[in-house]
Amino acid sequence: MPRKTKLIVTLGPATEKEETIGELLDAGANIFRLNMSHAKHEWARQMTRLIRRQSEQRNLHAAVLFDLTGPSIRTGDLDEPYELNIGDLVEFRKAGTDPSIPLSTTVNYPGMMDDVVEGRTLVVDNGTLLMEIRTKKDDRILCEVRNAGKLGSRRHINLPGTRLNLPAMTDKDRKDLALAVECDADFVAGSFVRDAAHVHELRSATDALEGTAQIIAKIEDQEAVKHIDSIIHAADGIMIARGDLGIEVDFEDLPILQRRIIKRCHELSTRVIVATQLLESMVQNPTPTRAEVTDCSNAVYEECDALMLSGETSIGKHPLRCVDALVKITRRIERSGGLGYGQKAPLLDERQKVARAAITLADSLPDSLLIVLTRRGVLANKVAMLRPRTRGFYAFTPKETVCRQLSLNRGVKAFRLPFAAGMDETIERATAFLLEHNHVRPGGPMIIVSDLLSDHIAANSILLHHA
């Protein structure tokens, strides 16, 4: 059985060589993520060129994901890190103001002082430091340290339970988005999305630049969870970014939220990615912990579309071993079955009903393939979200961009194929391709579903064909 769960790999110093990118493709990477929080523009251009070249050499359609920094709150620069002890007071102040105590740093969001509430928790550096907000003033806040640790420069700040009035996109995001469009990115991820309006703003900015990238909304705080349905409707895909989300919510709630969001994505026919700390120990170690194996297995069992590696492949010591570990985990769990949210999803439109009928037929015929003919990828996405069980699920499209964007869909393998004027000839071309590449045996059953023009009529159709 082909692997169904797709793998997203973050590039960085550990994986930026062209040879390594090729090895990652051979190992099973489907999408490459460029983290614009750290990437320089010329580096991102170069990585995109290398990905495209290595993919073309292998006749693959690997996609490129630009992950925007988003409106994150960060501390300022320090000459030396502060060594903090329990009970110390730390000041966070607006840029341009003078410190009032020795342990003081600036923040890049001047509105933070208006948003926070005394007595609430302030979290620094992904949970490394916990503080209580003791005093709030117009231009600064004073916080009491709750656990000993080190505070360095440009550390990320979380404010669990606080509604922040940050913009959807920063000036840096807009420059990085222009670069993504220049590089013909397949996906753009918006960080710290809090409601559907933020998704619409990112999409409008992409459209204004005449970009074709699909929009991924990263779910990272309680506001996003509160508006999850409208965000799912607005986005092309959802990323459950468990690092920040796990700080913003009670940690024991995180597995429940992950499962709930995945289920809702299946119900609303939107792709979903599980990300952050999948194999965190493998940044240093050559094998995953058993807890990490179980965590990844749960995400596969929940039938997410993709798993994403971050530091494990960008700065880790064993990037190829990380991809190999995920391939082994996904293959094994997929053989054991899944939760089946996709099979139970409500059918909300005509395309979904056609997709369900095609899947039912394909799953009922032994050794059958499921084939989708699609120009824009919409029908292929509808079919994929219903989670067919058939061993072979292929999409044919004349557009390279559609092939790459389908690399995020669970289970489907996309091929580029020029479509003929008539449906019959297009089917023959697809059949010949599958026979040539040994994807189907001669005479094997193929369920072909399409919404292409036939005699100048747009018609959803299902055809039982034999190779």
Residue among 136, 155, 194, 218 flagged as catalytic: 218
Give the contacts of 290 (CB within 8 A, at least 6 positions apart): none
266, 346, 301, 1: CA torsion to nearest 10 = -100
Rounded to the nearest 5°, which phi and psi values hold at 32? -110, 130
CB 32 within 8 A of CB 62: yes
Residues 210, 217 contacting (CB under 8 angstroms): no
- Measured CA to CA, the distance from residue 308 to residue 291 in angstroms comes to 17
The identity of residue 366, as a single letter, is P
146 counts as catalytic: no
Catalytic entry in 33, 140, 203, 242? 33
The two structure tokens encoding residue 72:
């994150």
Catalytic residue status for 74:
yes
CB 372 within 8 A of CB 417: no
DSSP 8-state secondary structure symbol assigned to residue 226: H
Secondary structure of residue 335 in the 3-state scheme: helix
Query: How long is the chain?
Result: 467
Residue 254 CA to residue 242 CA, distance in Å, equals 8
User: For the chain, percent helix, then strand, then coil, each to nearest 5?
Assistant: 40, 25, 40
Nearest CA to 400 among 33, 30, 62? 62
CA 245 to CA 235: how far, in whole Å? 18
Catalytically annotated residue among 3, 4, 74, 136 = 74
Question: Catalytic residue among 276, 313, 330, 401, which?
Answer: 276
Do residues 107 and 76 make contact, with C-beta atoms less than 8 angstroms apart?
A: yes
Closest CA to 259 of 221, 300, 293, 198: 300
Q: What is the DSSP letter of 223?
A: H
Type of residue found at 293: V
> What residue type is assigned to position 267 of the chain?
E
Q: 305 in helix, strand or coil?
A: coil
Residue whose pair of structure tokens reads 């740093």 in the numeric block? 105
Alpha-carbon separation of residue 352 from 357, 364, 423 (angstroms): 9, 18, 21
276 is catalytic: yes
> CA angle 39-40-42, nearest 5°?
125
d(CA 244, CA 186): 24
218 is catalytic: yes
Phi, psi of 463 (to 5 degrees): -130, 130
- The catalytic residues are 33, 74, 218, 276
